[in-house]
Every structure is written in structure tokens, then in C-alpha cells.
């Protein structure tokens, strides 16, 4: 199952993705983790700083960096509690910049004014560079000077280089495929804002997943009886849940009040075990039916033997004894088979 994200930050920062749009998209997730996908070459520093602060204030945002992530988009990521970078992604941090348009005629008297404007712009960009370097410094634990040097280089960093600098916390291994319960992308919210429309309702109650329903049958997850430790965490090992752990091929696993996390392979193993259990249950029911039919046949044979005995005397009695013994042997064998099958089913369930 592919990973699902609560918020997608794509394209230019400051166009679709603004502080206002991201703030609206975060509203449904005040009490839980937000998974944010970031794939952007940057844009507005103002919106980048705003979103960075929003993420830091929430305190439970995980940012997933995909593709090429640069400029203001990296600043946004710095506000996340945890940053995960795709192994094939690249990151660029650089100094602040501003557009200059000097396609105009000026008199010599205007040159001094333009010089003053450029001086003010230089001071402004220097301040911005300092702020940005401090953000990177706090994240990485490296000095502001080191971050200023890296920004001046303006080179793309691989995921491994970003990890070594401390700009990200880990390189994605794509194993976490948890599906969020509610939400919508920031893009949808931004489109509503652009057209002055109210955002649609965000709270969506999800149905239990197949895995949750299967685990409930084993007494695990939301429907389970709470046999937990002080932190509401259930430790399962082969002394408490031997059949389940054998079916999953693990020695131990943990479950909290929200349930457990299974890999695709474990889910397939569990599904296979349940299918086998279903077959065994059907087989046991068939055996029980056969036993009942056999008992009915034996009773009929006994009645027939009694009738013959009344007519033929001692010779018929011998036949009756023989039939009786055969019937009892058949019942004993059928009962033994049924008992063994039922014990096997109990072991699976």
C-alpha cells in the first residue's frame, strides 16, 4: 500500500502554497501527527518562514522530502519534528536573493539614489541570510558560520550528504505505509482560498481496515481487552500469544491502544493462517456430520439385528454382535479423527 500524506507541498512557495493555505490544511490534525510531502524548488521566503513556524508550533510534523527540494522549501522542512529524505532526492540551500529591474533611464543625479537602494537591499539580504543560517544551525547543531559557508556554495546535496550535515534525520526506506485517517491536501485548501470559498469539511471517519478486523479476531487492537502495561502498551510473546506469533513468523511484538503495525508479508501470512483455519473448521463440521450419519446407520443396524434375532435365534445374535462391533469401531475412529482436527483448529485460533 503506498504511503498517504496529509498535506502535499508542491510547486512554487507563495503561489498555491502559502502560510494561510497550510494553516487551514493543518486544522484537522491538532491532536495527531501530520505527514507532509515536500517537493518544491522554493519561492517566497516570507511564506517559507511562516510555514516553518507553523510546523514547529504544532510539534508533531513529519516532512518527507521528494524530488528536488530547494530554497524556501528546505526552510519549511526545518520546522518539522522529523525530516525523512528519499534516497534519490536532492536538496539545495543557498543565500537569499531578490530581483533587480533596471531597464529605466536615469539622470546622473539619480545614480546616488539607486546606490542607496542597492545598499539597503544588501543589508536586507544579509539579515535574511543570517536568519536562514541560524535556522539551519539549530537543526544541524553546526555553527552559523558553517551553514553560511554551505549556503554560499549553492550546490545540490544528495540524501546521504544532507544526512551527514544533519539537515535530515533519516533516508527513507519506504517501509512505513501508514494511511492517515482524515484530511485533505493543502492544494485543495489553497484553491478554495484563491476563489474565496470556504474549505470543505475535513473530518472524515475511516472504516476499520482489513488488518484491524483480522486482529480483532485475535483480541488485538481497538476491540481487544486491555491487558496493558502502565503506558498502555501490550507486549506479546510466545508465552502469551504463541499461535499468532508463529503465524506471523516473529518472536515478539508490541501493540498499543491503537493497534499494531504489520508488514505486507506478515499480513499475507496472517491471512493464509486464517484461510487454513476456515478450511479446518469446515472439515471439522463435515466430520461431525459424518459421525452423526454413522451413528444413525449403527442404530439402524442394531434395530435390524434385533429383528433378525427374533426370527433366527442364536445365529442372528452372532450377526448382531458382529455388526455392533464394526459400528463401534467406526464410531471410535471417526471420533478420534474429529478430535484431532478440532485440536488443530484450536491451535490456529
Q: What is the pLDDT of residues 100-155, one digit of tens each?
A: 555 566 676 777 777 777 788 788 888 999 999 999 999 999 999 999 999 999 88
Helix (H, G, I), strand (E, B) or coil at 227: coil
Mean pLDDT of 293-299: 84
- pLDDT tops 60 at residue 24: yes
Mean pLDDT of 268-290: 76
Per-residue pLDDT, 309: 74
Mean pLDDT of 278-284: 78
Mean pLDDT of 3-17: 89
75-89, 156-170, 198-212, 293-307: lowest mean pLDDT where? Answer: 198-212
Per-residue pLDDT, 74: 96
- pLDDT tops 60 at residue 248: yes
What the block records as the C-alpha cell of 284 is 471439522
CATH 1.10.357.10 is right for the domain spanning 7-94+154-194 = no
**Residue whose C-alpha cell reads 544533519 in the numeric block:** 166
Q: What is the mean pLDDT of the chain?
A: 75
**Residue 157: partners with Cβ closer than 8 Å, 6 or more residues away:** 90, 91, 92, 93, 165, 167
Rounded Cα gap, residues 55 and 111, in angstroms: 44
Per-residue pLDDT, 253: 62
The larger pLDDT score, comparing residue 82 to residue 97, is at 82
87-91, 218-222, 272-276: lowest mean pLDDT where? Answer: 218-222
Residues 94, 81, 206, 225, Cα dihedral to 10°: 160
- pLDDT tops 60 at residue 65: yes
Phi and psi (nearest 5°) for 233?
-115, 125
pTM to 2 decimal places: 0.49
Residues 20, 22, 25, 26, Cα dihedral to 10°: -110
Q: Domain limits of the chain?
A: 7-94+154-194, 210-262, 278-348
154-158, 178-182, 216-220, 286-290: lowest mean pLDDT where? Answer: 178-182
| CA-closest candidate to residue 30, choices 171, 188, 232, 183 | 183
Q: What is the pLDDT of residues 194-232, one digit of tens each?
A: 544 444 443 333 445 556 666 666 666 544 443 333 344
Amino acid at each position: 500500500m503506498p504511503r498517504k500524506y496529509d498535506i502535499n507541498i508542491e510547486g512554487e512557495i507563495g503561489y498555491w502554497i502559502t502560510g494561510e493555505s497550510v494553516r487551514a490544511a493543518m486544522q484537522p490534525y491538532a491532536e495527531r501527527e501530520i505527514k507532509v510531502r515536500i517537493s518544491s524548488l522554493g519561492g517566497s521566503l516570507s511564506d517559507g518562514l511562516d510555514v516553518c513556524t507553523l510546523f514547529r508550533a504544532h510539534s508533531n510534523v513529519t516532512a518527507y522530502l521528494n524530488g528536488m527540494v530547494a530554497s524556501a522549501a528546505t526552510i519549511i522542512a526545518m520546522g518539522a519534528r522529523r525530516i525523512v529524505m528519499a534516497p534519490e532526492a536532492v536538496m539545495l540551500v543557498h543565500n537569499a536573493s531578490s530581483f533587480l529591474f533596471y531597464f529605466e533611464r536615469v539622470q546622473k543625479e539619480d545614480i546616488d539614489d539607486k546606490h542607496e537602494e542597492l545598499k539597503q537591499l544588501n543589508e536586507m539580504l544579509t539579515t535574511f541570510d543570517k536568519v536562514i543560517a541560524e535556522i539551519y544551525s539549530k537543526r544541524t547543531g553546526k555553527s552559523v558560520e558553517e551553514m553560511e559557508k554551505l549556503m554560499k556554495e549553492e550546490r545540490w546535496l544528495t540524501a546521504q550528504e544532507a544526512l551527514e550535515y544533519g539537515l535530515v534525520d533519516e533516508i527513507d526506506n519506504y517501509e512505513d505505509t501508514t494511511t492517515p485517517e482524515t484530511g485533505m491536501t493543502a492544494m485543495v485548501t489553497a484553491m478554495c482560498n484563491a476563489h474565496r470559498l470556504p474549505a470543505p469539511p475535513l473530518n472524515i471517519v475511516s472504516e476499520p481496515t482489513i488488518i484491524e478486523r483480522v486482529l480483532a479476531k485475535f483480541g488485538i487492537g481497538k476491540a481487544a481487552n486491555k491487558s496493558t502495561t502502565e503506558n498502555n502498551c501490550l507486549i506479546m510473546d510466545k508465552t502469551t500469544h504463541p499461535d499468532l506469533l508463529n503465524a506471523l513468523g516473529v518472536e515478539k511484538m508490541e501493540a498499543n491502544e491503537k493497534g499494531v503495525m504489520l508488514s505486507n508479508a506478515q499480513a499475507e501470512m496472517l491471512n493464509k493462517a486464517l484461510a487454513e483455519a476456515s478450511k479446518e473448521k469446515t472439515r471439522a463440521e463435515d466430520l461431525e456430520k459424518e459421525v452423526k450419519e454413522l451413528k444413525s446407520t449403527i442404530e439402524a443396524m442394531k434395530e435390524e439385528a434385533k429383528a433378525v434375532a427374533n426370527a433366527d435365534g442364536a445365529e442372528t445374535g452372532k450377526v448382531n454382535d458382529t455388526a455392533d462391533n464394526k459400528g463401534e469401531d467406526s464410531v471410535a475412529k471417526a471420533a478420534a479423527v474429529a478430535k484431532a482436527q478440532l485440536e488443530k483448529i484450536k491451535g490456529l485460533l
